[in-house]
Amino acid sequence: MRPYLRVKRLTDVLFAATLLVALSPLLLILALAIRIALGPPVIYRQTRVGKGGRLFALLKFRTMRDEYDGNGTPKPDELRLTRLGRSLRAASLDELPQLVNVMRGDMALVGPRPLLPEYLARYSPRQARRHEVRPGITGLSQVRGRNALRWSKRLALDVWYVDHLSARVDAYIMWRTLVSLVRRDGIAAPGHATMPPFLGRPEARPS
């Protein structure tokens, strides 16, 4: 284990605990607003892939209505995403419950974003290396374009992060995350309410 990983985990736990306490009034306000606008549940749980391919329940504030077509299939995101949900996503406030995931050890503050289990079979061997570290609430692809990036570029950046993980890189990503939140860059992919699914794409090199 790289020495920095021990420090990183300790820092993540301390920082996540501090934020949960400091932001508790905001968390309660958001939970109440979501409960009024969308009803229960307030927290959305979705299975994602963590370090070493381990599955875990990702926690997010709910931003979409539960609406289905005649076949029982969820309607497209753009039809289910509410005005409140769009605001939460734009400011990344829907991600705040993931501080609990950090405390549990599922995630880190910085790392590749955790993705869906069905993507596992679609990665190239190199792309699959993104699972060598804990996934993060924010990451390099988030500060380089977020959902506006094509999948091949996002995954290439994830692998670059694995190979160059350091305190300096994490500090840079945290700083750029704050800048991106202010600018609200890359909230959605062009032509999509969120992000299209990963179907398996050619690899790209980060730049």
pLDDT at 193: 44
Asked whether residue 194 is assigned to any structural domain, the reply reads no
Asked whether residue 190 is assigned to any structural domain, the reply reads no
Asked whether residue 147 is assigned to any structural domain, the reply reads yes
Q: Residue 126 pLDDT > 90, yes or no? A: yes
Residues 6+ apart with CB under 8 A from 96: 23, 26, 27, 30, 61
Inter-residue contact 67 to 75 (CB < 8 Å): yes
Inter-residue contact 20 to 100 (CB < 8 Å): yes
What's the token pair of residue 140? Answer: 């390099």
Asked whether residue 189 is assigned to any structural domain, the reply reads no
- Mean of pLDDT values over 151-165: 93
Report the alpha-carbon distance of residue 120 to residue 98 in Å, rounded.
22
Asked whether residue 199 is assigned to any structural domain, the reply reads no
Per-residue burial over 16-29, b if 16 or more Cβ lie within 10 Å, else e, is beeebeeeeeebee
Alpha-helical runs (H) found in 50-166:
77-80, 83-90, 98-104, 140-143, 151-164
If one compares 143 and 74, the residue with the highest pLDDT of the two is 143
Cβ-count burial of 4 within 10 angstroms (0-12 exposed, 13-18 middle, 19+ buried)?
middle
Asked whether residue 191 is assigned to any structural domain, the reply reads no
- Mean of pLDDT values over 131-153: 87
Distances (CA, A) of 61 to 2, 56, 187: 33, 16, 16
pLDDT at 137: 96
200: DSSP letter: -
Distances (CA, A) of 200 to 93, 123, 125, 127: 29, 6, 12, 10
pLDDT at 118: 93
Average pLDDT, the chain: 86
Q: What is the pLDDT of residues 29-64, one digit of tens each?
A: 999 999 998 888 999 999 999 999 999 999 999 988
Q: What is the pLDDT of residues 67-76, one digit of tens each?
A: 666 666 666 6
Asked whether residue 93 is assigned to any structural domain, the reply reads yes
Asked whether residue 102 is assigned to any structural domain, the reply reads yes
Report the alpha-carbon distance of residue 122 to residue 105 in Å, rounded.
26
Inter-residue contact 46 to 60 (CB < 8 Å): yes
- Mean of pLDDT values over 108-135: 95
Highest mean pLDDT among 35-39, 75-79, 201-205: 35-39
Instruction: Supply the range of the domain harboring residue 108.
Output: 3-183
If one compares 187 and 89, the residue with the highest pLDDT of the two is 89
pLDDT at 55: 98
Compute the residue count for the chain. 207
Which of 146, 180, 31, 176 has its CA nearest to residue 97? 31
**Band of the pLDDT at 16, cuts 50, 70, 90?**
very high
pLDDT at 145: 75
- Indicate the number of domains in the chain: 1
**Band of the pLDDT at 191, cuts 50, 70, 90?**
very low
**Band of the pLDDT at 194, cuts 50, 70, 90?**
low
